[in-house]
Amino acid sequence: LRGLEAAGADAIEVGIPFSDPVMDGPVIQEASRRALLDGATPTSVLGIVKEAGLGVPVAVMTYANPVWHAGLEAFLDACVDAGVSGVIVPDLPVDEASEWRNACAEASVAPVFLAAPGSPEQRLRAIGEASRGFVYCVATYGVTGERERLAPTAAELVARLRVLTDRPLLVGVGIAEPSQAAKACAFADGVVVGSALVRPLLEADAAAALRLAGAFRAAIDTT
Residues labelled as active-site residues: 13, 24
82's CB contacts (< 8 A; 6+ apart) are 46, 47, 49, 50, 58
**Furthest CA-CA distance within the chain:** 45
Q: Please, where are the H alpha helices in 97-221?
A: 98-107, 121-130, 152-162, 178-184, 195-202, 206-221
DSSP H or E stretch at residue 163? none
The rounded distance, in Å, linking the Cα atoms of 99 and 60 is 19
118: left (phi over 0), alpha (psi -120 to 50) or beta: left
Q: What's the distance, CA 198 to chain centroid?
A: 13
The rounded distance, in Å, linking the Cα atoms of 21 and 63 is 7
